[in-house]
């Protein structure tokens, strides 16, 4: 993990004006299905916990995608600013 962080900093702070902006990697973003036991209130704690874990994973994937979009937008804006300087 540290290797990737160091590599990321090296790439981000390189002196080159040529910067590559990678597109966000879109996931599937399929929300988890509610367990069928919800209809008749017969869910076990495991089913509830499993559903909640799946929801948390779903939200994390969306947050990661949003962060990638933000980084891409910043990269494009930086490229535009660099291009306008010349």
Structure tokens at 63: 């947050």
Domain residue spans of the chain? 30-86
Element (H, E) at 75: helix 45-85
Contact 27, 65 (CB under 8 A): yes
Q: How far apart are CA 27 and CA 65, in angstroms?
A: 8
Contact 76, 21 (CB under 8 A): yes
Q: Give pTM, 2 decimals.
A: 0.64
Q: How far apart are CA 35 and CA 50, in angstroms?
A: 9
Residue whose tokens read 């996931």: 27
pLDDT tens, residue by residue, 23-39 = 888 777 889 999 999 99
What's the average model confidence in pLDDT over 30-59? 95
């Amino acid at each position: 993990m540290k290797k990737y962080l160091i590599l990321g900093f090296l790439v981000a702070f390189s002196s080159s004006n040529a910067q590559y902006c990678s597109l966000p990697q879109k996931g599937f973003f399929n929300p988890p299905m509610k367990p069928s036991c919800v209809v008749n209130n017969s869910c076990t704690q495991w089913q509830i916990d499993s559903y909640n874990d799946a929801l948390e994973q779903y939200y994390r994937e969306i947050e990661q995608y949003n962060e990638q979009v933000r980084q891409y937008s910043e990269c494009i804006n930086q490229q535009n600013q660099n291009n306008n300087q010349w």
